[in-house]
Structure 1
Amino acid sequence: MKFIHACRRDQPPCGGASLEALIAPDNEVRLIDAFVDSLSLEKLGFRTDFPENGRPAYHPTILLKLLVYGYLNRIRSSRCLERECHRNLEVMWLLGQLTPDHNTIANFRKHNSKAITNVFRNAVRMARQLQLIGGELLAGDSTKLRAQNSKKNNYNRAKIARHLLYIEQKLSESNQALAQARDAVQVAQLADNMARHARRREYYLQLLQQLQEFGEDQVSTSDPESRQMIIRNTITEVAYNVQATVDARHCLLIDYQVTNHNDCKAMGNMLRRAKSILRKHSFTALFDKGYYTGTELEIAQQLGIRTLVAIPAPAAVAPDQAYNLEHFIYDRAKNTYTCPEGHTLTTNGHVYTKNLNRSNPTSFHQYRTKACKTCPARTRCTTAKNGKLIERNLYSPLFEKNRQNVAANPELYKRRQAIVEHPFGTIKRQ
């Protein structure tokens, strides 16, 4: 029987061919090599001037090529990248057979985070030049990435207060026990416990002072920039929130930002950056209901960008959904609402305000009608004792405009998930 025979181990591989001959002309490492060589690393923020004394350093070009290769091939660990330098023919060709160790790779990534972000911007610019980015339809969303910080090492004011109360109780109990103690060993143990509780109290007081000084709601001790966030329903994790904007043509990311805030105030900045990247405002942006905020819709209008934001379920639902707020017609000229029964709701002109203790208090007018008292449809319209009440704030016209956009393009909005969830799935898979 015939078999394919292996080469002898003392023979040169591939008949002694060079690395250049072993790397195919269409291999992706040639694109990485050309892309990184085309960058001006100094302008991007990489350090290229090193002192002549001491051991020579690796040029940032070499380490950047290795990182980009790792990202494209699901290799993020610095130790794994170091191992590839010794055994991977593609990496040997890309780096000219240089073999940086894992500490060098890790420190390069750590000390050049902003510059590496600028490399991503240049990759987006190159994708635009190659017409891989359409710039006509964008979708935005966020995903939570769990931090290294545990819930145990995340604190807010209430949690710190509970710890301090517990410590005070223990110190009080120890003081009482110390007053009654007669054994020297017991006295020493109580003194040690009190000293330990005193150190813990000082630690929590420092955390509380840190919260007060920086005006923060939370503090994480091992991963300082992370925050405890709602992941799903009532499930929370200490995490980061990654805001991403994705182009529809090939589901390519054009922008991202790692934050520790929720979505409600993110859309405006995402649209500003997208406009700057695409250098135009004539595109459509799709967002889910987490971004349904009046201030952000106002920013989109000022930028001249058409947005379709999912409409959340109304906070107050009528007993019969035919009498929900969206079925009440607003007359801009008369500043009145007309209900499904034909009655007119008017305002007394007084401006009411709520959420005074928050950074964005809301001012609004209230609309009522006396016809509610005798209306036969009242029980289907409202359960309020004084009849139907409508609140209209400054951003109501923006909400109505967004509702019209969504209603006019129902199939367009359905594409949002298929566009923006695609890179999230890729990232989490890798």
Structure 2
Amino acid sequence: MTTRPQIKINTAPQLDIFSGVDSSPDHKKQDKSKRSGNKTDKRRFVAPDPSAITLGNTNLKEHLELTGQKTPFTVASLLDEQDWSDFEHRYASEGRPPYSPRNMMGLILYGIMQGITSLRTLERLARVDLGCMWVTGGIFPDHAIIGRFINMHSESMTGPFFESLTRTVLKKTDSDGSCLAGDGTVIEAACSSYNLMKQEAAQQAHEAAQNQADNHPDCPESKKNLEMTSSALEAVVERNAKRKKNGKSGNAVVSPTEPEAVVQKMKRGRGYTTGYKPSVLANSKRVVLAQAVDPTNETTVVSPMLDQSMQVTDKPVDEMLLDAGYFNDEVIATSLERDISLLCPEGKEPGKPKESAKFQKGHFYYDETNDVYRCPVGKELVLIGQVKGSTRTKEQKIYGNGPCEGCLLKDQCTSNKKGRRIKRYAMDDTKDALRQVMQHPKAKKSFSKRKAMVEPVFAYLRDIQGLNRFRRRGLEKVKLEFGLHLLAYNLRRAVKASLYAILRYNRMILWLHFERYRPFERKWGSWERDPVKRHSLQRKVLHWV
């Protein structure tokens, strides 16, 4: 038998791709593992200097400048301004030096900015993309190292690091968080919608997994399968109980591999499938200051997002613009508690109720003086009963006025033989006040900015960064994935702001030079009439800029 040849693995730190090009002493010094910022800390990291990378006889920085690539420089400068001690403290002070967290984070965010979310594609990007080499220093980790890095630092990415980077982006964009616009969407989950189970099927799967675990107590796969089926059974039982409490018919379904995902209607006419509801709060420069993900309800995360915005800016929100989906008691109460000026219509247009085949509560006028409601035809609905609040119901007043026989609009109003009933809750006074506010011209003008502030955020995430479906399973991992996408999105907003600043500067210099040559107009006539003089002047000005 022939013995297999032994292969010796190189255990030296993996350095940049062009580490062997330059043999100068400075370059060799950059290849060494760098220490963290704290002098007493013994942790070491591989963090090569990108300025040492060359393409033939051309430095990488010069090559990127000649080709007009400004994004890598902006991204690298923003990452250099961040504090990486929270990331670095998770590594051991002994053993083989790992890649620098700053360089690893640069690879991940730069890849997401290009619409790349696959770990293997990120691995390839680090080897072939010149802009990525400038951001990362030329490191080339494999996909397993990238995946372990994301799992190790998941809490910092969506928490302190998100807030720190957003503060830097706010400075670059010269914006604040005084006025925020909120919105949510539905994004498909990673699990398949063809393997959904009802409660009976989930119960049978749980019993089968329990029997298998009892017969093979030492098998890790049996334990994992039992935990998965238990989670699926608990989720479907809870959803059925909630549906029964809300008076809904039908049975709930659950995914056995991702029980936290909920079947709901997708955007853009894609039907129904399992998904999550991510939400954001963005300012006038479309910088996202807060983000959250909930399986079903986008209104319950408004208060946590306001807390996160407060952490970023250290200032409370003065004005909040929300669409009609947020017109409920919880959001209105939150804005009152925090003294926030809320602009939120009841329908698609400010001041108009939601469109429906029948008259909604907003179509009825409440006369506070006489404590009566007036229907669209002018008939009064008087107080006929009261219900005290309990754990299941809210305190409410019931208004009505007998059968609506003979009314021409009865088919558009109610099918109840006793006539139309209106329930009035404690928050209805505040809702009526908000409806009146939304009818004011200034409120309509302010609210018209909401669409331009927040709607392009999800459009960019879907079309440019490819977030049409989550790649990770489970609510916590989905939150991490969505947070990484928003980190990359905020970086893009800073890049755009830098480009706009350069453009404004060039326009100012151009204007100053034209003003400088205005005396020639008075002395020799308008230079615009002479093509030769005009071309010569433009060449001088553009060459100087």
TM-score bin, normalised by smaller chain: 0.7 to 0.9
Q: 2:424 aligns with which of 362, 381, 392?
A: 392
Aligned equivalents of 2:117, 2:195: Cα separation in 1: 26
Query: Are 1:299 and 2:334 matched, yes or no?
Result: yes
> 2:83 is matched with which residue?
40
> 1:283 is matched with which residue?
318
Q: 2:262 touches 2:274 (CA, 8 Å); kept in 1?
A: yes
Q: 2:363 touches 2:376 (CA, 8 Å); kept in 1?
A: yes
> 1:174 is matched with which residue?
none
Q: 1:269 to 1:406 in 2, by over 3 A?
A: farther
Amino acid in the other structure paired with 1:238: T
Q: 2:373 aligns with which of 337, 353, 364?
A: 337
Please report how far the alpha carbon of residue 401 of structure 1 lies from its aligned counterpart in structure 2 after TM superposition: 2.2
Aligned equivalents of 2:446, 2:297: Cα separation in 1: 25
Q: 1:58 to 1:213 in 2, by over 3 A?
A: same
Runs of at least 5 residues in structure 2 that lack an aligned partner in the other structure: 1-52, 209-214, 216-221, 240-252, 348-353, 466-545
Q: 1:355 to 1:379 in 2, by over 3 A?
A: farther
CA deviations on 1:201-257 (whole Å, 9 max, x unpaired) are xx899836763499743653333542322225893211121111121x222222211
Q: 1:85 aligns with which of 104, 126, 151?
A: 126
Q: What's the TM-score once normalised by structure 2's chain length?
A: 0.58
Query: Are 1:401 and 2:433 matched, yes or no?
Result: yes
Aligned equivalents of 1:95, 1:379: Cα separation in 2: 69
1:301 match: secondary structure:
helix
> 2:484 is matched with which residue?
none
Aligned equivalents of 2:134, 2:375: Cα separation in 1: 73
Q: 1:295 touches 1:395 (CA, 8 Å); kept in 2?
A: no
CA deviations on 1:306-365 (whole Å, 9 max, x unpaired) are 2222314277834xxxxx644544344553335567665432552266993xxxx33311
Q: 1:140 touches 1:244 (CA, 8 Å); kept in 2?
A: yes
Please report how far the alpha carbon of residue 290 of structure 1 lies from its aligned counterpart in structure 2 after TM superposition: 2.3
Task: Please identify which structure carries the higher strand content.
Answer: 1
Q: 1:244 touches 1:255 (CA, 8 Å); kept in 2?
A: yes
Aligned equivalents of 2:81, 2:116: Cα separation in 1: 23
Matches within 5 A, 1:23-422: 23-24=64-65, 27-43=70-86, 45=87, 47-53=89-95, 55-117=96-158, 118-157=160-199, 160=202, 207=229, 211-212=233-234, 216-217=238-239, 219-231=254-266, 235-247=271-283, 249-312=284-347, 313=354, 317-318=358-359, 325-326=361-362, 328-332=364-368, 334-338=370-374, 344-348=380-384, 350-351=386-387, 356=392, 361-369=393-401, 384-408=416-440, 409-422=443-456
Q: 1:229 touches 1:237 (CA, 8 Å); kept in 2?
A: yes
Please report how far the alpha carbon of residue 38 of structure 1 lies from its aligned counterpart in structure 2 after TM superposition: 2.2
Please report how far the alpha carbon of residue 41 of structure 1 lies from its aligned counterpart in structure 2 after TM superposition: 1.8
Please report how far the alpha carbon of residue 393 of structure 1 lies from its aligned counterpart in structure 2 after TM superposition: 0.9
CA RMSD, 1 decimal = 3.9
Q: 1:267 touches 1:291 (CA, 8 Å); kept in 2?
A: no
Aligned equivalents of 1:252, 1:364: Cα separation in 2: 41
Please report how far the alpha carbon of residue 104 of structure 1 lies from its aligned counterpart in structure 2 after TM superposition: 1.1
Please report how far the alpha carbon of residue 135 of structure 1 lies from its aligned counterpart in structure 2 after TM superposition: 2.8
Q: 1:266 touches 1:291 (CA, 8 Å); kept in 2?
A: no
Amino acid in the other structure paired with 1:120: F
> 1:180 is matched with which residue?
none
1:130 match: secondary structure:
helix
Q: 1:292 touches 1:311 (CA, 8 Å); kept in 2?
A: yes
Q: 2:181 touches 2:321 (CA, 8 Å); kept in 1?
A: yes
Aligned equivalents of 1:205, 1:119: Cα separation in 2: 32
Please report how far the alpha carbon of residue 426 of structure 1 lies from its aligned counterpart in structure 2 after TM superposition: 0.9
Q: 1:142 touches 1:244 (CA, 8 Å); kept in 2?
A: yes
Amino acid in the other structure paired with 1:157: Q
Aligned equivalents of 2:230, 2:55: Cα separation in 1: 66
> 2:47 is matched with which residue?
none
> 2:58 is matched with which residue?
17
Please report how far the alpha carbon of residue 64 of structure 1 lies from its aligned counterpart in structure 2 after TM superposition: 1.3
Q: 1:47 touches 1:60 (CA, 8 Å); kept in 2?
A: no
Q: 1:328 touches 1:339 (CA, 8 Å); kept in 2?
A: yes
Percent identity at matched positions? Answer: 23
Aligned equivalents of 1:421, 1:373: Cα separation in 2: 43
Q: 1:48 touches 1:59 (CA, 8 Å); kept in 2?
A: no
Q: 2:180 touches 2:320 (CA, 8 Å); kept in 1?
A: yes
1:362 match: secondary structure:
coil
Q: 2:76 touches 2:134 (CA, 8 Å); kept in 1?
A: no
Runs of at least 5 residues in structure 1 that lack an aligned partner in the other structure: 1-11, 168-194, 319-323
Amino acid in the other structure paired with 1:254: L
Q: What's the TM-score once normalised by structure 1's chain length?
A: 0.72
Q: 1:65 touches 1:94 (CA, 8 Å); kept in 2?
A: yes
Q: 2:290 touches 2:308 (CA, 8 Å); kept in 1?
A: yes
